[in-house]
Amino acid sequence: MIGRRFGGTRLMRVSAGIVAAALVSGCAAGGTSPASSAAPASSPPVPVKPQQKAGPPGVLPRPGEVKAITPAGSVLPVISSIPTTRKVVFLTIDDGWEQDPGFVRQVREQRIPITAFVMRDAVEALGAPDPAGGVGKYVGRGKWSYFRQLRDAGVPIENHTLTHPDLRTLGYDAQKAEICGSSKLIREHIGTRPTLFRPPFGNYGAGTLRAAKACGVEALLLWTATVQPGGKIAYQVPDKRLRPGDILLLHFRPNLARDFRILVDKIRRRGYELGNLDAYLKAALRRAK
């Protein structure tokens, strides 16, 4: 595993309003039933393997390239994009319903940098996946072992709650149970402790930030654009273009491997590289201290 800490994050302490961000289509809930689920329910923890010789995937920040992420009004930094002028974007993938082995091979063989935000009910296929992606062939196929394979391919496995609630509807204790419970589970099954948290639907409040911090989270990670089935990018900005430092959100949906190929080609055709989010965050947060 690449170095996962940003260093002692005493960082941010600000005052701005912590408003619930209503970002486009985090992830929907309910809908069609899972097509299949065959694997055993859970597997014992597996120690983290030493990371491969080639170093972390994706481009790394140049000295001085990344600006500090400045405190934005909370006990934790809330990040939607990385402050850089280099043509680099970051890929993040949420939930974890569809567990296509072909996607792991793609990530490993092409050394594509991604960060996964997993939630228990998707990983363990405890409910019905987001219907937006169509019927999946691999829903819950690998469960946590699938994410251990991604971990071994250099993918940080981060926190996206246990049950994918709208956290604005929950009190502090319930939010903390969702976030700490997820971190504990990831620690048990993956062997690493999440340092990033992505609130379902992008919805959060002041209590969410306090709860996340109490659970060992060092930053809330939002996004600037979502990627739809077919690799189409849905921007949250009016000019509908990729911008340096954008964080793109995908989901573990059917046809992810195909959509991913289309997306990566598109990003590269536009002259962008794929960045290593962990390394860029470390640079941005270190500079803020």
| Segment interacting with Zn ion, rule: CB under 5 A, options 23-31, 150-158, 218-226, 266-274 | 23-31
Provide, rounded to whole angstroms, the least separation between the CB of residue 201 and Zn ion: 7
Provide, rounded to whole angstroms, the least separation between the CB of residue 119 and Zn ion: 6
- In the bound state with Zn ion, the residue whose beta carbon lies nearer, of 217 and 279, is 217
Q: Does 27 bind Zn ion (CB under 5 A)?
A: yes
| Per rule CB under 5 A, count of chain residues that contact Zn ion | 4
Q: Which of 78, 90, 94, 143 binds Zn ion (CB under 5 A)?
A: 94
Give the span between the Cα atoms of 60 and 11, in whole angstroms: 22
| Segment interacting with Zn ion, rule: CB under 5 A, options 25-33, 53-61, 233-241, 278-286 | 25-33
Binding mask 180-219 for Zn ion (x = CB under 5 A): --------------------x-------------------
- In the bound state with Zn ion, the residue whose beta carbon lies nearer, of 59 and 177, is 177
The residue number with the shortest CB distance to Zn ion is 27
Which residues, at least 6 apart from 213, have a Cβ–Cβ distance to it below 8 Å? 75, 76
Q: Does 95 bind Zn ion (CB under 5 A)?
A: yes
Provide, rounded to whole angstroms, the least separation between the CB of residue 160 and Zn ion: 6
| Segment interacting with Zn ion, rule: CB under 5 A, options 6-14, 26-34, 226-234, 254-262 | 26-34
Give the span between the Cα atoms of 269 and 25, in whole angstroms: 26
- In the bound state with Zn ion, the residue whose beta carbon lies nearer, of 121 and 218, is 121
- In the bound state with Zn ion, the residue whose beta carbon lies nearer, of 248 and 283, is 248
Provide, rounded to whole angstroms, the least separation between the CB of residue 117 and Zn ion: 7
Residue 109: both structure tokens together: 């063989």
Provide, rounded to whole angstroms, the least separation between the CB of residue 163 and Zn ion: 11
Reduced 3-state DSSP string for the chain: CCCCCCCCCCCCCCCCCCCCCCCCCCCCCCCCCCCCCCCCCCCCCCCCCCCCCCCCCCECCCCCCCCCCCCCCCCCCEECECCCCCCEEEEEEEECCECCHHHHHHHHHHCCCEEEEECHHHHCCCCCCCHHHCCCCCECCCCHHHHHHHHHCCCCEEECCCCCCCHHHCCHHHHHHHHHHHHHHHHHHHCCCCCEECCHHHCCCHHHHHHHHHCCCCEEECCCEEEECCCEEEECCCCCCCCCCEEEEEECCCCHHHHHHHHHHHHHHCCCEEECHHHHHHHHHHHHC
Side chain identity, residue 214: A
Q: Does 250 bind Zn ion (CB under 5 A)?
A: no
| Segment interacting with Zn ion, rule: CB under 5 A, options 56-64, 75-83, 92-100, 101-109 | 92-100
Interface residues with Zn ion (CB under 5 A) are: 27, 94-95, 200
